[in-house]
Amino acid sequence: MRLKDKVAIVTGSARGLGKAYALRLADEGAKIVVAAIRDPEVTVKEIEGRGGTAIAVYTDVSSEKSTLEMAEKTIKTFGKIDILINNAAIMLKSPTKTPVMQPSDQITVEEWDSVMRVNVKGVWLCIKAVMPQMKRQGKGKIINISSTVFFAGAPLVLHYVVSKAAVIGITRAMARELGDYGINVNCIAPGFTYSETIIEAVDAGEFGELPNLIVATQCFKRREQPSDLLGAIVFFASEESDFITGQTLVVDGGSIMH
What would the pLDDT profile of 135-148 be if each residue is shown by its tens digit?
999 999 999 999 99
Calculate mean pLDDT across residues 97-118. Answer: 91
Whether 257 is covered by a domain: the verdict is no
Is 2 domain-assigned?
A: no
**Whole-prediction pTM:** 0.96
CA 154 to chain CA centroid, nearest Å: 19
Task: Determine the pLDDT at residue 83.
Answer: 99
Q: Give the mean pLDDT of 107-118.
A: 95
Q: Which CATH number covers residue 133?
A: 3.40.50.720
- Does 195 reside within a domain? yes
Residue 95 clears pLDDT 60, i.e. is over it: no
Question: Which residues neighbour 157 within 8 Å (Cβ) at sequence distance 6 or greater?
Answer: 91, 100, 101, 149
Q: Is residue 222 part of a domain?
A: yes
Which stretch of 187-191, 208-212, 223-227 has the lowest confidence by average pLDDT?
Answer: 208-212
What's the domain count of the chain?
1
**Which of 85-94, 123-132, 200-209 has the highest average model confidence (pLDDT)?**
123-132
Give the mean model confidence (pLDDT) for residues 197-226: 92
Residues involved in catalysis: 160
- 110-129 mean pLDDT: 97
- Which has the closest alpha carbon to 229: 145, 115, 133, 124? 145
Measured distance CA(212)–CA(222) in Å, rounded: 9
Q: Is 31 inside a domain boundary?
A: yes
Least confident of 99-103, 114-118, 135-139: 99-103
Residue 2 has pLDDT above 70, yes or no: yes
Model confidence pLDDT, tens digit, residues 44-82: 999 999 999 999 999 999 999 999 999 999 999 999 999
Q: How confident is the model at residue 231 (pLDDT cuts 50, 70, 90)?
A: very high
What is the C-alpha to C-alpha distance for residues 163 and 166, in angstroms, rounded to an integer? 5
| 78/55 Cα distance (integer angstroms) | 10
Which of residues 160 and 97 earns the better pLDDT score? Answer: 160
Q: Is residue 258 part of a domain?
A: no
CA distance 112 to 219: 33
Per the prediction, the chain carries an average pLDDT of 95
In a domain, 218, yes or no: yes
The domain containing residue 161 runs over which residues? 7-251
Per the domain annotation, does 1 fall within a domain?
Answer: no
